[in-house]
Amino acid sequence: MSNEIPVRRMAHYVAELDEGGLGAVDAVRVNERKSNLWLDAWRDLRGRWMFWVSAVFVFLLIVVALFPGLFVQVSPHACELANSNADPRAGHPLGFDFQGCDVYSRVIHGTSTSLSVGVIVTIIIAVMGIVIGAFAGFFGGWVDSLLMRIGDMFFAIPYVLAAVVIMSMFLANRNILVISLAIGFFGWPSLARILRSEILRVRSSDFVMASEALGVSRVRTMFTHVLPNSIAPVIVVSTIGLAAAITAEATLSFLGVGLPSDVVSWGSDISQAQIRLRTDPMPLIYPSIALSLTVLSFIMLGETVRDALDPKARALR
């Protein structure tokens, strides 16, 4: 007999050969839908009703501000005392105020004033806030300390109170540009702080270090790589800040230190109508509604854009 012990052979399983190779596995699929922060934000915004409602109303406000003649043919300065507090009639759907001015015409023409102040103030705040916040966040050190201490001094001054003081000094030369400068010159610190914090986060990214390793100057790196990737919060803050600027202009005009009487303003109309609030409240209610809806639409637009640009907020929904 043989003393050999039979050996059981184990079966070997071999995976099928991938004829595509590693090149096919690592190949970029060009037919896939491209995606980035802005495209993801737009796809999110398209499905939100609040965005469409606010965007349509903002668009309507812009059209009214640019082309008031399409909505009313009566001059807001055509006031006759014979029509004082007269009821609505054909061609005058909202009636007349105490001075005999057409309320509907003044509400329509007041849109241009409010949006003009809001846009100019937003531009002033954005330019100052972006420049100061970008240099403070990117360069750091003594530059950051100096710019932020200057921002702290401006931040400690309420911009509405500062605007009241400035407008009181220019009573003879009050116009849209002066009131915009008075509001915007003291409103930039919050935007600068937000941008600074965002740049502090972005500047430690790999693409920033790669840009500096290639010999690109720091200023060019900041404007071409860091700032474009940090600008999203600025857009959101500017949208909401525009609503705050409109409110500030109306507040100053209501207090009598805003725009002169020959400039149509919702705030001044509200101020003039408050003396007859108990007997005839409608001339006060109509510009108040227009002001409230305008501010609300910009706030809603800013809120929806903020949520769309925040990846964490999109992940929670």
What residues does each domain of the chain span?
A: 39-316
Q: Are 222 and 212 in contact (CB under 8 A)?
A: no
**Residue 224 DSSP class:** I
Helix H or strand E encompassing 214: none
pTM: 0.81
Lookup: tokens for 176: 């849209």
**Residue 172 DSSP class:** G
CA gap 253, 98 in Å, rounded: 18
User: Judging by beta carbons within 10 Å of its beta carbon (0-12, 13-18, 19+), is residue 96 exposed, middle or buried?
Assistant: buried
Q: What φ, ψ does residue 94 adopt, rounded to 5°?
A: -110, 5
CA gap 38, 45 in Å, rounded: 10
Q: Any idea what the Cα angle at residue 84 is, between residues 82 and 87, rounded to 5°?
A: 105
Q: Are 228 and 96 in contact (CB under 8 A)?
A: no
- Residue 287: closest CA among 305, 272, 269: 269
- Going from the C-alpha of 299 to that of each of 104, 123, 163, 219, 292, the distances in angstroms are 25, 17, 22, 34, 11
Helix H or strand E encompassing 244: helix 232-255
User: Judging by beta carbons within 10 Å of its beta carbon (0-12, 13-18, 19+), is residue 104 exposed, middle or buried?
Assistant: buried
CA gap 311, 313 in Å, rounded: 5
Lookup: tokens for 266: 């919702």
Superfamily of domain 39-316: MetI-like (1.10.3720.10)
Can you give the pLDDT of all 317 residues of the chain as single tens digits? 455 555 555 555 555 655 555 555 555 555 555 566 677 777 878 888 888 999 999 999 999 999 998 999 888 888 888 888 888 888 888 888 888 889 999 999 999 999 999 999 999 999 999 999 999 988 888 998 999 999 888 888 888 888 888 888 887 788 889 889 988 888 889 899 999 998 988 888 888 888 888 888 888 888 888 888 888 888 888 888 899 999 988 888 888 888 887 888 898 888 888 888 777 888 889 999 999 999 999 999 888 888 887 655 555 55
